[in-house]
């Protein structure tokens, strides 16, 4: 699993001045043993790429076209994102699925396009409240995973694929899933990957769903948690730093436990 990965998703927020203030407050304050990134709206890619140059914070976008190039007005290709220095791109966020009708197959095609250009796709999956109440969590997660192509599975084994579990009912609602609910879902994802990928532990599996600084430590300490996809809290420098520090503390504690057991 390696170290934790914490990614901030700014969603449709930001401005030239506020972006500079936020990132200035983040640089040099994030723990070195945590991999961090921010996924920002398209218009701010150039600005944020410049502000993050010579830092350890990765740059990502929030969506990508499934098409390489051509007459697709309003679309942005993976190659274009790479030109701005993007390392990550979110695909299949629950808001894209529910508000803009993105299907499992469309999400899979976007993930493939990202991989083909050298980006790391952060593939979001998760169930609605109705699906959870109906006892269909595993069914939904496995259906969304099964839509991914062979290239995505190969990428998972090479550590180039990130899966973010985000229960739809916990996105932007302030309501976070219970740690045991999260672990059950993360274990389901890990088990599904392990049955199809030689080294499934190389694939990062994150939790996203109203993660706050007071819940981060418990969520990051779960056996199958590799970090988090952070929404609203990533717009506050103090809160995002606290969440990343919680991730670092969990990683260091885990490493210490491993050393003791091996010593």
* Catalytically active residues, by annotation: 93, 166
Nearest to 90 by CA among 67, 107, 68: 107
Distance CA 212, CA 16 (A): 25
Measured in whole angstroms, how far is the alpha carbon of residue 209 from the centre of its chain?
11
Distance CA 238, CA 5 (A): 18
Note the helical H segments in the chain.
16-26, 45-52, 78-83, 94-100, 104-116, 129-133, 137-146, 150-157, 179-194, 213-220, 237-262
Query: Cβ atoms within 10 A of the Cβ of 113, count?
Result: 21
Stretch (H or E) spanning 60: strand 58-61
Burial pattern 194-230, b for ≥16 Cβ within 10 A else e, equals eeebeebbbbbbbbbbbbbbebbbebbbbebbbbbbb
CA angle (59, 65, 69) in 5-degree steps: 110
Across the chain, which distance is largest between two alpha carbons, in Å? 61
- Partners of 163 in the β-ladder: 123, 205
- Classified as helix, coil or strand, 228 is strand
């Amino acid at each position: 699993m390696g170290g934790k990965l914490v990614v901030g998703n700014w969603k449709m927020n930001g401005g030239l001045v506020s972006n500079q203030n936020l990132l200035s407050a983040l640089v040099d304050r994030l723990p070195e043993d945590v991999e961090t990134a921010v996924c920002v709206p398209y218009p701010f890619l150039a600005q944020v790429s410049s502000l993050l140059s010579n830092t350890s914070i990765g740059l990502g976008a929030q969506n990508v076209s499934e098409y390489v190039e051509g007459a697709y007005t309003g679309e942005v290709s993976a190659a274009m994102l790479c030109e701005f220095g993007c390392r990550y791109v979110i695909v299949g966020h629950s808001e894209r699925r529910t508000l803009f009708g993105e299907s499992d197959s469309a999400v899979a095609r976007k993930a493939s396009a990202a991989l083909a250009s050298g980006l790391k796709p952060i593939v979001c999956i998760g169930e609605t409240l109705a699906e959870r109440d109906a006892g269909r969590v595993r069914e939904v997660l496995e259906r969304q995973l099964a839509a991914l192509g062979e290239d995505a599975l190969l990428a998972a084994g090479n550590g180039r694929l990130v899966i973010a579990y985000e229960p739809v009912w916990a996105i932007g609602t302030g309501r976070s899933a219970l740690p045991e609910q999260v672990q059950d879902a993360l274990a389901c994802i890990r088990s599904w990957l392990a049955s199809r990928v030689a080294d499934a532990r190389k694939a990062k599996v994150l939790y996203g769903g109203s993660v706050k600084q007071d819940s981060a430590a418990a969520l990051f300490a779960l056996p199958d948690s590799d970090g988090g996809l952070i929404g609203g809290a990533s717009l506050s420098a103090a809160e995002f730093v606290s969440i990343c520090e919680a991730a670092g503390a969990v990683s260091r504690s885990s490493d210490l436990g491993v050393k003791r057991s091996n010593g």
